[in-house]
Amino acid sequence: METGLIGLSLSGKTTIFNTLTGHSASTAPHSGGKKEANIAEIQVPDERVDRLSEIFNPKKKVYATCIFKDLNLDFTPEGGISAASIAEIRNLTAVAIVIRAYEDEGVPHPLESIDPVRDLKKILDSLVFSDYEVTEKRMERLEKEGKKGSREFSYLQKISEHLSAGKLLGTGFLTEDEMKLFSGFAFITAKPMIVVANSGEAAKGVAELEAAAGEFDLTFFSLQGALEMEIAQLPGEDQADFLKDAGLSEPAITRFLRMIYDSLNLISFLTVGEDEVRAWSIRKQTVAQKAAGKIHTDLEKGFIRAEVIHYDEFMTMGNMSEAKKQGKLRLEGKEYIVQDGDIMNIRFNV
Ligand SMILES: Nc1nc2c(ncn2[C@@H]2O[C@H](COP(=O)(O)OP(=O)(O)OP(=O)(O)O)[C@@H](O)[C@H]2O)c(=O)[nH]1
Ligand SMILES: [Mg+2]
C-alpha cells in the first residue's frame, strides 16, 4: 500500500513526509531543480502484536507496513502536473494532496498568495483532466477499431461526461465490475484521496478548505507541518510533553494512519507462532482464501480451511491449548469474511 504526497511546490510535502516517517529529508523555502522522490516504509503500531508477542515469545515480531512517498512533482509551464508526474501518481494506492494553509512571508507561494481552496481546485482540475485524457484516447482508439457499439465504449462515454463536468470519479462512481474492467487505466480520481491541510501557527482558510474537501467527498486531515515535524524528529520519550504543550493528544502519524485505514477500508488480521507474530493488512470484506494469499500464494492456491479465533477471545483464554480445549477455534471455509483482529491459522496443501 503506497500513499503518495502530492501538491504545489513549497506546500510542505517533504515537511509532512518527515512528520509521518520521522525522517529528516531536506526541506527548503525554495524549490530546487529535479529531485528524487523520498520513500519510507513505516510500521503500523499495533498493540495486539505486542501483547501476542509477550505470549508466544516469537523470534520475529512483524507489524503491518505502510509506504509513504513524497513525490517531487513536475509542473508544466501552464501550471498543470507533467505527464511523467501523472504516471507516478497512477501507481499509488492512495493520494494525499498537501495544501498550504500556513502563512509565512519567508516562504514564497508559486501562485503568490495563500488561498487553500484555489490550490485544491487547481490540483484536482489537473487530476481530473489526466483521467479525461486517458478516457478520450481510449475512446478514439475504439472508434478507429469500429467498436463504438461496445460495452466498454458506452462506459467510457459515461466516465468522460462525468469528468468533463469537472467531477472526480470518486470511490463510488464506478461499480465493482467497471473498476475491474478499467483497472488497467488506474484512474487517479477513483483512488482514495485525502486533502491534507498544512496549517502552521498562522493558518489561513482551513475551514473553507475542509468545506471544499467535503464538497468533493474527500477525506480531510489537518496538521501543523513545521511544528509537528520537529516533534516527530525528537527522541520518542520527549515527544509526549511537546505534543501536550501543542495541545495535541497524539502524534500526527497515529492520527494519519487511523484516517488512512478508515478511508482505504483496511483492517488487520494476525498470525501467531514461535517463529513469528505478525499483523497483515487487508481490505474489509476480504474472504479467507484471499487473505491467505497475502501470506503466500501457496496458501491461497492450496487453501483448505482457516482456524480462527478473534484476538479478544484469545486474550480471555491466554494461550492456544486452552482455546483449543474449550473448542474456541472455529474452522472457517474459503468464503469466510475475515474480521479485524482475527487470529488465523491457514490449513493448506500444495
Ligand atoms: N511557517 C511554516 N513553514 C512551513 C510549514 N510547513 C513547511 N514550511 C516551510 O515551507 C518550506 C517548504 O517546505 P517543504 O516541506 O520543503 O515543501 P515541499 O512541498 O516539499 O517543497 P518542494 O518539494 O520544493 O515543492 C520550508 O522552508 C518549510 O520549513 C509550516 O507549517 N509553517
Ligand atoms: Mg519537497
**Residues 298 and 250 occupy one common structural domain:** no
**Residues 152 and 225 occupy one common structural domain:** yes
**Residue 221 belongs to a domain:** yes
pLDDT in the model for residue 179: 83
Q: How far is the CA of 1 from the centre of ligand 1 (A)?
A: 25
Q: Which of 69-78, 91-100, 281-290 has the lowest mean pLDDT?
A: 69-78
In ligand 1, which atom is closest to the CA atom of 17? Answer: 15
**Residues 289 and 194 occupy one common structural domain:** no
Query: Given 195, 229, 263, which residue is the final one in a domain?
Result: 263
Range of the domain at 28: 2-263
Q: What is the residue with the minimal CA distance to atom 21 of ligand 1?
A: 10
pLDDT at 125 over 90: yes
For 63, phi and psi rounded to 5 degrees? -90, 160
Q: Would you tell me the crossing angle of helices 236-245 and 225-232 to the nearest 10 degrees? A: 150
**Residues 305 and 234 occupy one common structural domain:** no
pLDDT higher at 29 or 231: 231
CATH of residue 29:
3.40.50.300
- Residue written as grid cell 502563512: 103
Q: What is the residue with the minimal CA distance to atom 5 of ligand 1?
A: 226
**Residue 315 belongs to a domain:** yes
**Residues 108 and 212 occupy one common structural domain:** yes
Q: How far is the CA of 183 from the centre of ligand 2 (A)?
A: 30
Say how far apart CA 3 and CA 327 lie, in whole Å. 41
Q: How far is the CA of 233 from the centre of ligand 2 (A)?
A: 17
Q: What is the residue with the minimal CA distance to atom 24 of ligand 1?
A: 31
**Residue 275 belongs to a domain:** no
Sequence-distant (6+) residues with CB within 8 A of 127 are 81, 86, 89, 95, 168, 188, 189
Sequence-distant (6+) residues with CB within 8 A of 262 are 219
Best residue among 15, 71, 99 to mutate for probing ligand 1's pocket (most ligand atoms within 8 Å of CB) is 15
**Residues 200 and 127 occupy one common structural domain:** yes
Residue 325 burial class via C-beta count within 10 angstroms: exposed 0-12, middle 13-18, buried 19 and up: exposed
- Of the listed ligands, the closest to the CA of 7 is 1
Q: How far is the CA of 41 from the centre of ligand 1 (A)?
A: 22
Query: Given 199, 231, 263, which residue is the final one in a domain?
Result: 263
Q: Which of 9-23, 31-45, 138-152 has the lowest mean pLDDT?
A: 31-45
What residues are paired with 283 via a beta bridge?
266
**Residues 57 and 136 occupy one common structural domain:** yes
- Residues 224-230: what's their mean pLDDT? 93
Largest CA distance in the chain: 70
Q: How far is the CA of 247 from the centre of ligand 1 (A)?
A: 22
Convert 305-315 to b/e letters by CB count within 10 Å (16 or more is b): bbbbbbbebbe
- Secondary structure element (H or E) that encloses residue 95, with its range: strand 94-100
Count: domains in the chain: 2
CATH of residue 315:
3.10.20.30
Q: How far is the CA of 75 from the centre of ligand 1 (A)?
A: 17
**Residues 188 and 310 occupy one common structural domain:** no
**Residue 243 belongs to a domain:** yes
In ligand 1, which atom is closest to the CA atom of 27? Answer: 16
**Residue 11 belongs to a domain:** yes
pLDDT in the model for residue 34: 58
- Of the listed ligands, the closest to the CA of 18 is 1
**Residues 240 and 134 occupy one common structural domain:** yes
- Residue written as grid cell 482551513: 206
Q: How confident is the model at residue 33 (pLDDT cuts 50, 70, 90)?
A: low
In ligand 1, which atom is closest to the CA atom of 72? Answer: 23
In ligand 1, which atom is closest to the CA atom of 198? Answer: 31
**Residue 15 belongs to a domain:** yes
Q: What is the residue with the minimal CA distance to atom 7 of ligand 1?
A: 12
**Residues 73 and 186 occupy one common structural domain:** yes
Looking at the chain, the whole-number percentage of residues with pLDDT higher than 90 is 83
Query: Given 207, 231, 263, which residue is the final one in a domain?
Result: 263
Q: Which of 13-22, 76-85, 139-148 has the lowest mean pLDDT?
A: 76-85
In ligand 1, which atom is closest to the CA atom of 7? Answer: 19
**Residue 270 belongs to a domain:** no
**Residue 194 belongs to a domain:** yes
Q: What is the mean pLDDT of the chain?
A: 93
Which residues line ligand 1 at a C-beta cut-off of 6 Å?
A: 7, 9-15, 27-29, 31, 72, 102, 104, 107, 198, 200, 224-226
Sequence-distant (6+) residues with CB within 8 A of 160 are 132, 135, 136, 139
**Residues 110 and 219 occupy one common structural domain:** yes
pLDDT in the model for residue 59: 97
**Residues 46 and 166 occupy one common structural domain:** yes
